[in-house]
């Protein structure tokens, strides 16, 4: 059973249409959190199990997930793992028994952004939620996502699912440029001008560009049958977003 309500006051913090998802088996506790958040204008959903949580992550734009203690002890680790892989931009708050360091360490080690007591006061809940959403909004500006490919512009790091990919400086700049032109065909002249910043040396740069593209392709490949960067013969190269939608299972 899922309960949902729309709010209006806090839409900007949730990313406009973002939702706060509460995964909590204890109905009374979940409803108390939901009411407190909705009074502040947050759009909020409650699910009783992580399985329902997975469904809403796949079908809704979720800005923050609050994970209850009981779910953390059963399948919360799996939920955090999926969030870290496919929904890295979603903020994560794990709740647990007061002064239980084992729960806190487990949650943080598995990707939680913050941990708090199950019986935290309403004012503290609202303050933590606001802080997480604010931090997430600031981080989101510096991150780009294409399916399961995530690129952190500020930290210059790249992930495919939960796997981090090590790139050279030029490979990173090349990937960022391709992402900014996703599904478009970029020519060698464009890469020479915008990535290498040497517009007058297109011909000599052809082999250099090809080597960097080959190395980048190899690092982004999920299997031998799928080429993440297509060569459009006689024209240029294309990064397709559909190639980074990993099987969900």
Token pair for residue 227?
A: 């080429």
CATH number at residue 163: 1.10.10.10
Both 132 and 84 in one domain: the answer is yes
| pLDDT, average across residues 97-115 | 81
| pLDDT, average across residues 119-136 | 91
Q: Give the pLDDT score at 225.
A: 58
**Nearest one of 153, 155, 145 to 173, comparing CA atoms:** 153
Q: Give the pLDDT score at 40.
A: 94
Number of Cβ within 10 Å of residue 246's Cβ equals 14
**Nearest one of 15, 4, 25, 229 to 138, comparing CA atoms:** 15
Q: Give the pLDDT score at 5.
A: 43
**Alpha-carbon dihedral sign for residues 80, 84, 86, 87:** positive
Q: Give the pLDDT score at 144.
A: 78
Number of Cβ within 10 Å of residue 43's Cβ equals 23
Both 137 and 163 in one domain: the answer is no
Both 25 and 124 in one domain: the answer is yes
Both 105 and 17 in one domain: the answer is yes
| pLDDT, average across residues 232-248 | 72
| pLDDT, average across residues 53-82 | 80
Domain stops at, among 141, 175, 205: 141
Q: Give the pLDDT score at 2.
A: 42
- Residue 60: pLDDT over 60: yes
Helix, strand, coil fractions of the chain, as percent rounded to 5: 45, 20, 35
Both 198 and 132 in one domain: the answer is no
At 50, is the pLDDT very low, low, confident or very high (cuts 50, 70, 90)? confident
Note every long-range contact of 163-169, with CB atoms under 8 Å and residues 24 or more positions apart, other chains counting.
165/219, 165/220, 166/219, 167/216, 167/219, 168/215
Q: pLDDT (tens digit, 9 = 90+) per residue, 132-188?
A: 998 877 666 677 777 778 888 877 889 888 788 999 989 999 998 998 888 899 999
- Domain range for 168 is 144-244
Lowest average pLDDT, out of 1-10, 73-82, 117-126, goes to: 1-10
- Residue 115: pLDDT over 70: yes
- Residue 16: pLDDT over 50: no
- Whether 26 is covered by a domain: the verdict is yes
- Whether 249 is covered by a domain: the verdict is no
Domain stops at, among 141, 158, 181: 141
CATH number at residue 28: 3.40.50.2300
Which DSSP state fits 57?
H
Higher pLDDT, 219 or 110: 219
| pLDDT, average across residues 4-15 | 47
Domain stops at, among 100, 118, 141: 141
Both 111 and 150 in one domain: the answer is no
Higher pLDDT, 94 or 225: 94
Q: pLDDT (tens digit, 9 = 90+) per residue, 198-232?
A: 766 555 678 888 899 999 999 988 666 567 888 89
Residue 194 near residue 177, CB atoms below 8 Å = yes
The helix/strand/coil state of 196 is: coil
CA angle 62, 67, 71 (to 5 degrees): 130
> What is the number of domains present in the chain?
2
| pLDDT, average across residues 2-16 | 46
pTM for the model stands at: 0.56
Higher pLDDT, 78 or 224: 78
């Amino acid at each position: 059973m899922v309960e949902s309500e729309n709010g209006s006051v806090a839409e900007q913090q949730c990313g406009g249409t973002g939702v706060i998802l509460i995964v909590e088996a204890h109905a009374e506790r979940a409803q108390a959190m939901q009411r407190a958040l909705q009074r502040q204008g947050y759009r909020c959903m409650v699910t009783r199990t992580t399985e329902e949580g997975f469904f809403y992550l796949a079908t809704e734009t979720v800005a923050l997930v609050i994970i209850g203690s009981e779910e953390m002890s059963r399948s919360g680790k799996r939920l955090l793992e999926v969030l870290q892989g496919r929904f890295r931009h979603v903020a994560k708050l794990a709740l647990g028994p007061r002064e239980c360091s084992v729960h806190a360490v487990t949650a943080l080690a598995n990707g939680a952004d913050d941990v708090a007591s199950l019986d935290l006061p309403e004012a503290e809940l609202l303050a933590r939620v606001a802080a997480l959403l604010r931090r997430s909004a600031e981080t989101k500006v510096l991150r780009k996502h294409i399916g399961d490919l995530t690129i952190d512009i500020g930290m210059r790091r790249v992930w495919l699912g939960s796997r981090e990919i090590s790139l050279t400086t030029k490979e990173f700049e090349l990937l960022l440029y391709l992402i900014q032109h996703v599904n478009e065909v970029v020519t060698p002249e464009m890469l020479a001008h915008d990535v290498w910043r040497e517009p007058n040396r297109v011909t000599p740069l052809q082999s250099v560009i090809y080597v960097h593209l080959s190395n980048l392709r190899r690092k982004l490949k999920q299997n031998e049958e799928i080429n993440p960067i297509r060569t459009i013969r006689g024209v240029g190269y294309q990064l397709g977003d559909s190639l980074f939608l990993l099987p969900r299972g």
